[in-house]
Chains A and B, each alone.
Chain A
Amino acid sequence: TQLLEQSPQFLSIQEGENLTVYCNSSSVFSSLQWYRQEPGEGPVLLVTVVTGGEVKKLKRLTFQFGDARKDSSLHITAAQPGDTGLYLCAGERGSTLGRLYFGRGTQLTVWP
């Protein structure tokens, strides 16, 4: 069973479109991290959200942590081909500090 459910699994869009990736759970997390992974490389941290209702912006990327700290979303505005990659959400639970539980990832392809 997957503790964090990510959707959609695949997303293929044209340059300039907007998109949202969702990360949902029935469990509460002390924090949610979003990573981006490119082919042949390891994941790289984009952002960490720690407070329920928190919104963080990273240029065209907006991250939100749900009020109940059970879900998160990543919204990309005006997607560019350089945004192409695998986006992974990962949650840390208060009972297991230091351990991350990863979602299955969303493979995003942005066509020029």
Chain B
Amino acid sequence: NAGVTQTPKFRILKIGQSMTLQCTQDMNHNYMYWYRQDPGMGLKLIYYSVGAGITDKGEVPNGYNVSRSTTEDFPLRLELAAPSQTSVYFCASSYMVGRNQPQHFGDGTRLSIL
């Protein structure tokens, strides 16, 4: 059972570089999410998607972009990386039938911007 798969697991970037964090899920979930987790700050929603072709901003979208061309994939793009984007990034998915659906998380991408 793969669930939600994130790649890479670790990455170091220089200031100003760009990269794409990959996320794929094999559960046929229609909702997908990107969060960042900073020490002592819980999880902050960056972007989310309710289905292929539909994305929306969360609490902290600045400096990031997303796309959702398929149900399975939801990549997160960092343009012009900044030290403030050093964080652990989690992708999650849920099956939106009714309320109270659990979110299933990947194991995260640990990103350092130097």
Contacts and interface: CB of A to CB of B under 8 A. Distances in A.
Interface of A: 2, 6, 9, 30-31, 33, 40-45, 48, 50, 88, 90, 92, 97-100, 102-105
Q: Which of A2, A9, A44, A97 has the most CB of B within 10 A?
A: A97
Interface in B46-66: 48, 50, 58
Contact of B31 (A33, A40, A98): A98
B71 to A, nearest CB: 15
Interface of B: 4, 31, 35, 40-45, 48, 50, 58, 90, 92, 94, 96, 99-103, 105-108
Given A43-B103, A99-B58, 20 more contacts: A2-B42, A30-B99, A31-B100, A33-B103, A40-B107, A41-B108, A42-B90, A42-B107, A42-B108, A50-B99, A90-B43, A92-B100, A97-B96, A98-B48, A98-B50, A98-B96, A99-B48, A102-B44, A104-B42, A105-B40
